């Protein structure tokens, strides 16, 4: 095997347009996805190698890192697992996307009348078929090098791809994963500047220096595993049947709701009246006070990106 500065190179390959590759990565190994020509979007998915029901989740990643995750951010698994699966330890471009879902055959036929067209869903499905996964196991991807945004009217847009030849991202596996990158098939969109190009993949053995670039992820009680599930076996058939023996056992139920008396000064009551008169924060004193308190509380104590709207 060849070596890279401080690292042992384990595998090198190029994926051509219309293709992808499922790669087994062990904890501590690094995957580099590199531009061969520039301006090519790379769709990416991953699964827990020992439990495919734990997989990368765009929604949780978007919630925790915003619309364009980059160096220093994690790729999180879906609820209820919610664990960091991989860490982005290098990103030479910084224009990534977790807004847009994967493209599909339906999308090209519906939007453009192209009944036959390469697309990310079918590429992903075929690449992961090597490990026994079906098209139903495909999920929305992390779109590396895809330049996107949201306009003032709240509409998504795709902008010109800015990645150049030799630009790359590097992902450190935080658990054993099946990593599945593919060459995004969207050539009639600006995703890859209307032309599909190959991508280079390199797998390295990670180093202590790689690990030093990863912040300590949280370990919380509510990051659950199958041992916490009431049904632990994966359903084998496709049809859904009602379990006649089912009895609801919702978590944290019954909810405990308590009345809390809040003593306010005359000045504070006047302030609440002013807020109430705007019609934006509630119709009663209690609603306005609740809005004001929790908006302050989110800004003061919430970890990660704040989700309270500006006032």
Tokens of 60: 């949780």
Helix, strand, coil % in the chain, rounded to nearest 5: 20, 25, 50
Q: What is the mean pLDDT of residues 53-64?
A: 97
Q: Hey, where are the domains in the chain?
A: 3-218, 257-311
Angle at the Cα of 33 from the Cα atoms of 32 and 37, rounded to 5 degrees:
135
- Give the pLDDT confidence of 138-189 residue by residue, as tens digits: 999 999 999 999 999 999 999 999 999 999 999 999 999 999 999 999 999 8
d(CA 179, CA 48): 9
Exposed e or buried b per residue across 107-128, where buried means at least 16 C-beta atoms within 10 angstroms of its C-beta: bbeeeeeeeebbbbbbbbbbbb
Q: Has residue 50 got a pLDDT over 90?
A: yes
d(CA 122, CA 139): 11
Candidates 184, 188, 206; CA nearest to 44 is 184
- Give the pLDDT confidence of 205-244 residue by residue, as tens digits: 999 999 999 998 889 999 999 999 989 988 888 887 888 9
DSSP secondary structure string for all residues of 137-174: G--PPEEET--EEE-TTS-EEE-----BTT-EEEEEES
Contact 40, 161 (CB under 8 A): yes
pTM over 0.75: yes
Q: Has residue 3 got a pLDDT over 50?
A: no
């Amino acid at each position: 095997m060849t070596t890279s500065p401080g690292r042992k190179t384990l595998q090198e390959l190029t994926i051509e347009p219309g293709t992808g590759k499922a790669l087994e990565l062990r904890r501590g190994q690094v995957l580099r996805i590199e531009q061969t020509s520039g301006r090519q979007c790379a769709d990416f998915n991953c699964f827990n190698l020992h439990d495919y029901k734990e997989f990368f989740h765009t929604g949780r990643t978007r919630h925790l890192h915003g619309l364009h995750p980059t160096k220093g951010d994690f790729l999180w698994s879906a609820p209820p697992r919610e664990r960091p699966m991989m860490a982005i330890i290098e990103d030479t471009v910084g224009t990534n996307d977790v807004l847009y879902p994967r493209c599909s055959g339906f999308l090209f036929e519906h939007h453009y009348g192209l009944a036959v067209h390469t697309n990310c869903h079918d590429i992903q499905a075929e690449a992961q078929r090597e490990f026994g996964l079906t098209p139903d196991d495909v999920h929305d991807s992390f779109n590396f090098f895809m330049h996107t945004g949201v306009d003032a009217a709240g509409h998504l847009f795709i902008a010109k791809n800015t990645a150049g030849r030799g630009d790359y991202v590097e992902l450190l596996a935080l658990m054993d994963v099946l990593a599945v990158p593919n060459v995004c098939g969207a050539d009639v969109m600006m995703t890859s500047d209307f032309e599909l190009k190959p991508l280079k993949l390199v797998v390295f053995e990670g180093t202590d220096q790689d690990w030093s670039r990863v912040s300590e992820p949280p370990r919380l009680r509510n990051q659950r595993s199958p041992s916490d599930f009431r049904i632990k076996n994966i359903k084998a058939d496709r049809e859904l049947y009602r379990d006649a023996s089912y009895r609801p056992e919702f978590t944290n139920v019954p909810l405990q709701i308590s009345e809390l008396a809040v003593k306010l000064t005359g000045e504070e009551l006047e302030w609440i009246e002013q807020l109430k008169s705007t019609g934006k924060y509630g119709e009663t004193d209690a609603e306005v006070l609740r809005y004001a308190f929790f908006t302050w509380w989110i800004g003061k104590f919430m970890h990660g990106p704040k989700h309270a709207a500006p006032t």
